[in-house]
Amino acid sequence: MKKNKWGMIALGLVIFLIMVTFPFWYGKGSKTPPPVLSLDTPVIHEMKEKRCVEDTSFMRANHMKMLNAWRDEAVREGHRQYTAKDGRTYEKSLSGTCIQCHSNREQFCTRCHDYVGAKPTCFNCHVVPGEVNK
């Protein structure tokens, strides 16, 4: 071991460098742009004031917590009305409320979820009307 000491050290440093710079050479050249979320659905087109249950930045960060809370409150406690911050009311329902507007799961939900590696289990049970199961 001692004779090729510098060989061993160089080998170790090279392995270390390859590992810590891994993201730089993985997928090199494929400058994938961040996902663009499509709001191009018939229901959204017909809306005069295009707005979700809450404002966009809140929904982007908190939609999973909201859906989880809705699930518990609606299914387990029977409270089916959600009052938004601005006083409007919605039915707490993924299929009945969210998917009515966002009926394009592939272009809306999945794009972001794939990008950040989130694996929600919503659609293990819920279906988007008109979508063919692959």
Partner 1 sequence: MNLLISIIVVSGLVLLAAGIAASHTASYALTVVAPYLVFVVFLGGFIYRIVKWAKSPVPFRIPTTCGQEKTLPWIKNNPVENPSGFWGVFGRMAQEIFLFRSLFRNTEVKIIDGRPIYGSAKWLWFFGLLFHGSLLIIILRHLRFFTEPIIPCVNALSAVDGFLEIGVPALYLSDVALLAGLTFLFLRRVIIPQVRYISLFTDYFSLLLICGIAVTGLLMRHFFPADLNEIKTLAMSWIIFSPVVPQNISVVFYIHLCFVFTLMAWFPFSKLMHMGGVFMSPTRNLANNSRMLRHINPWNAPVKVHTYEEYEDEFRDKMKTACLPVEKE
* The one among 23, 42, 87, 130 contacting partner 1 by CB under 8 A: 23
Q: Which long-range contacts (CB under 8 A, 24 or more apart) does 57-64 make?
A: 64/118, 64/120
CA distance 115 to 134: 21
Residue 45 beta carbon to partner 1: minimum distance, rounded to whole angstroms? 24
Q: Which helix (H) or strand (E) holds 83?
A: strand 81-83
Name residue 52's beta-bridge partners. none
Regarding 31 and contact with partner 1 (CB under 8 A), the answer is yes
- Residue 118 interacts with partner 1 (CB under 8 A)? yes
Would you count residue 16 as binding partner 1 (CB under 8 A)? yes
Q: Is 34 in the site for partner 1 (CB under 8 A)?
A: yes
Token output for 39: 């709001």
Closest CA to 53 of 63, 39, 41: 63
For residue 9, state whether it binds partner 1 (rule: CB under 8 A). Answer: yes
Region binding partner 1 by CB under 8 A among candidate stretches 27-35, 40-48, 86-94, 123-131: 27-35
DSSP 8-state secondary structure symbol assigned to residue 108: T
Backbone phi, psi, residue 83, to 5°: -105, 120
Identity of the residue numbered 16: F
Q: Which stretch binds partner 1 (CB under 8 A): 30-38, 44-52, 88-96, 125-133?
A: 30-38
Element (H, E) at 24: helix 22-25
Among 42, 46, 48, 61, binds partner 1 (CB under 8 A): 61
Residues that bind partner 1 (CB under 8 A): 1-2, 5-6, 9, 12-13, 16-17, 20, 22-24, 26-27, 30-32, 34-35, 57, 60-62, 64-65, 67-68, 112, 114-121
